[in-house]
Amino acid sequence: MNFNRTGRVGDLLRAEVASMILHQEIKDPRIGFVTITNVLMSKDLKHARIFFSMLGSEKEVKDSMEGLNSASGFVRRALAKRLRLKNIPSVRFEFDETLEYSSHIEEVLKEVKE
């Protein structure tokens, strides 16, 4: 049986970080209304790329990314308290552009259809 540990740990991190944001444990005013969409883990489970999406201007997205990345130390400490993992991964937040891309494709398809 092939169990994907990186995927399971990534899903666990996604749920915990989303819970932190939902309950406003990260208190940075730059962070807007963000949604955690995905977490990609390195094979050795020492690094996590956390993807988020949000609606807003490029400046708001940039500010939210800066706020989240500046809170990465807090997020890592909070994960260490909540999770029973041997090594808590370093976290880096990145904007997930798939939502914008899919809406762009939908608009193009509507134009072609008309």
- Residue pLDDT tens, the chain, 114 long: 345 888 999 999 999 999 999 998 998 899 989 999 999 999 999 999 999 999 888 899 999 999 999 999 999 999 999 998 888 999 999 998 887 788 878 888 888 887
Amino acid making up residue 93: F
What is the C-alpha to C-alpha distance for residues 48 and 42, in angstroms, rounded to an integer?
6
Q: Give the architecture (CATH level 2) of 5-113.
A: 2-Layer Sandwich (3.30)
Place of tokens 């990314």: 65
What is the C-alpha to C-alpha distance for residues 52 and 31, in angstroms, rounded to an integer?
11
Q: Which residues are paired to 47 by β-bridges?
A: 90
Global pTM?
Answer: 0.82
In total, the chain counts a number of residues equal to 114
Number of Cβ atoms within 10 Å of the Cβ of 10: 20
